[in-house]
A and B are shown apart, each in its own frame.
Chain A
Amino acid sequence: MEKDGSELASISNPLWLNAEITYKCPLHCVFCYNPVDYTRYGQELATEDWLRVFREARALGAVQLGLSGGEPLTRDDLEIMVREASGLGYYVNLITSGIGLNEKRIAAFKEGGLDQIQLSFQDSTRELNDFLSSTRTFELKSKVARLIKQYDYPMVLNVVLHRLNIDHVGQILEMAEVMGAEHVELANTQYYGWAFVNREHLLPSREQLERAEEVTNTFRARVGNAMKVYFVVPDYYADRPKKCVNGWGTTFLNVASDGVALPCHEARMLPGLSFPNVRDHDLRWIWHESPAFNAYRGVGWMKQPCRSCPERFKDFGGCRCQAYLLTGDAANADPVCSLSPHHGRVTTVVEKAQLPGERVPVRPLLFRGDRNSRQLSQ
């Protein structure tokens, strides 16, 4: 069906394409945001399909490309993807644990036009890094960090923070300084996927959080512009929700390894929506026309209290996935909001997190992995 220009014009261009090119990963991180049932998903897209996705998204206006996963380095056609994407004019970001990166590959990425490598660490200590990822990878990651420097890439470190490592924030920043990092993202865990399952183990106390922010601010004041440090607060401690993915279907386009297109990493969990696959539709149709991408665009879908809230254009009611996870209905206000009638579901969890460290958790810490995924898929 033809749409007139004015209606199309009201939908903004996607600016950011996130390509989750595989769900394979050598790590088993307890806070992974990948879906817990990833083992259920079908075959990964072939190289040619990915290159077509890159071209179509670029034509729609996307300019940032995230090559992510899982661990994107597990695909041996990553070099081809980097070269094609760079030629199309993307700023190409490789989001990696570093496992699988060697000198031959980084040289090929450099030559192919890769713009930056974001390297994740789980902690500043070998013991906790290796425990949290259930691997022995700390030394390997340190080697990769040196390779990144050697190939004159900006050093961008990402460390996911949570109850088990947040007290090490000072050491983490010192490690980043020693490595010569230019950007450091201290991203508090967001509670989706595996992190949601492990939430009770991972949510820090208010005191831990305040201390970590204080340490971060002192460090910032010392290093100035030499290092940009981003501190992403956990939204459970906020009283207004985040403007999730900058608004549903406004900016962010995620394509999962099996070709399913999503307005965010997590949306596949939402019931009642059928997310289109890039094998069946072109991205223009998916972005502009598909019912799933239009489901929560704008404010028309809102219920109270969002519908009449003066802040509804500021945060679009927060995160649909969080609303669904915590209230059972994706059209409810994100319960992080203190105006939500379900706000108590967040505060109960937060209050529990204030109890001293040695609580007896209801269930053991669950590592991301195929066996656990198959169990959680049932």
Chain B
Amino acid sequence: MSEPRLPLPPDAPIELLRQFRLQWEPAQQCYVLLYPEGMVQLRGGAGEIMKRVDGQASLHGIVADLQRAFPGADLRADVVDFLEVAHGKGWIRAGQHQ
């Protein structure tokens, strides 16, 4: 099943919407995205991508940083995929100001 996705501009900073908070949960051994009365577990790669969403880095920047951290794999398509789904879900948005 494919999730609705929303494209993101490649060079705009990406930020979490303010009702969301990302944190590492030792008890669950993964990053979780917390929001009013809810939680999404972000396992493996999803956590690695989301922890780079800091209100500064752009889609380009996040891809480049992940390529440095995990050299040897072509991650671009997967990262864009994930971020567009996250955008479609309303977790993240392109920053208003560059």
Nearest-neighbour CB distance to chain B for A252, whole angstroms, equals 11
Verify A15–B39 contact, CB threshold 8 A.
Answer: yes
A interface, over-half SS: mixed
- Which parts of B63-88 form the interface with A (CB within 8 Å)? none
| A183 touches B (CB below 8 Å) | yes
B27–A64 CB distance below 8 A? no
Chain A residues near B23: list those with CB within 8 A.
63, 89
- Chain A, interface size: which category? 20 to 34
A60: CB under 8 A from chain B? yes
Closest to B38 in A: A64
Inside 8 A of A154's CB, which chain B residues have their CB?
Answer: 18-19, 36
B residues apposed to A, CB below 8 Å: 18-19, 21, 23, 25, 27-28, 32, 34-39, 90
Given A91-B21, A154-B19, A182-B19; A116-B27 close (CB under 8 Å)? no
Partner pick for B90 among A89, A91, A225, CB 8 A cutoff? A225
Chain A residues with CB under 8 A of B39 = 15, 63-64, 91
Q: Any chain B CB within 8 A of the CB of A129? A: no
Q: Which residue of A lies closest to B33 (CB)?
A: A91
* Interface mask (A148-190 → B, CB under 8 Å = 1, otherwise 0): 0000101010000000000000000000000000110000000
Tell me the minimal C-beta distance from A348 to chain B in angstroms: 33
Query: Whole-angstrom distance from the CB of A16 to the nearest CB of chain B?
Result: 8
> Contact check: which of B21, B25, B28, B32 meets A115 at CB < 8 Å?
B21
The answer for the CA separation of A117 and B52 in the assembled complex, in Å, is 27
Q: Are A93 and B27 CB-contacts (below 8 A) given A116-B19, A152-B18, A228-B90?
A: no
Render A235-279 as a binary contact track against B, CB cut-off 8 A, 1 for contact. Answer: 000000000000000000000000000000000000000000000
